[in-house]
Amino acid sequence: MTAIFKPEGPLFRATEHAGGPWSPDMLQGSATTALMTREIERLTNASGFAVRRLTFDLWRPAGLRAFGLETEMLRDGRKAKTIQVRLTDGESEIGRCTALLTAQGSESPADPFLQKFGQRCTAGARHTAAGVCAEMEPLFPERVRAPH
C-alpha cells in the first residue's frame, strides 16, 4: 500500500502521493481530510461510541511538509460526544474536523434510507468512520425472497 503520510515523531509528513492535481507541491483536500479522519478513528476505536457525523473546515492550502494534529474533547457526555481534530502547520491551523459520536446501544438509530430498502443495522454491528453500518440484516426476514 502506498502511504499518503508517514509518521515522524508527533508529526505526519506528506508524501508525493498526497499531491493535488493543481500543483505537485500542494496537497489535495482528500489527503488532509483523510489524516484528520484517521485520528478520529484512532480516538474512537475502543470507546464504544460510533461516529455519526464528520464536519470539515479547510482554511489554508497545505504543502508537502510535516503536519501536527491537535485533539480536543468539546463535549464528553454519556450518550453523545464531540471531538475536534485540528491540522496544524507550525503555529497555523490548516483545517479542522469536528466529529459527533453517539453511544451504541442494542438498537442503532433508525436510518430512513436503509429502512426504505428493507434493511436495518444488526444490533451491535461495526460502523465505518462515517457512521455507516457495516452489517445489515433484512427488516422483515419472512418477506425476503431468494434471487431468481
Instruction: Give the domain CATH number at 83.
Output: 3.10.129.10
Where is pLDDT greater, at 142 or 16?
16
Q: Has residue 116 got a pLDDT over 60?
A: no
Instruction: Determine the average pLDDT of the residues in 100-120.
Output: 60
What is the per-residue pLDDT for 47? 82
Which has more confidence, 114 or 51?
51
Where does 1-148 show beta strands of DSSP type E?
5-8, 11-14, 49-58, 66-76, 80-89, 92-103, 119-121, 136-138
Cell of 12: 505526519
User: Are 67 and 126 members of one domain?
Assistant: no
The Cα 60–Cα 30 span in angstroms is 14
pLDDT of residue 120: 61
Answer yes or no: do 98 and 109 share one domain: no
Q: Looking at the predicted structure, is the pLDDT value of residue 124 above 90?
A: no
Mean pLDDT computed over 61-65 = 88
Mean pLDDT of 124-141: 62
pTM reported for the whole predicted model: 0.69
Judgement on whether residues 111 and 138 belong to the same structural domain of the protein: yes
52 and 82: one domain?
A: yes
pLDDT band at 34 (very low <50, low <70, confident <90, very high): very high
* Domain count within the chain: 2
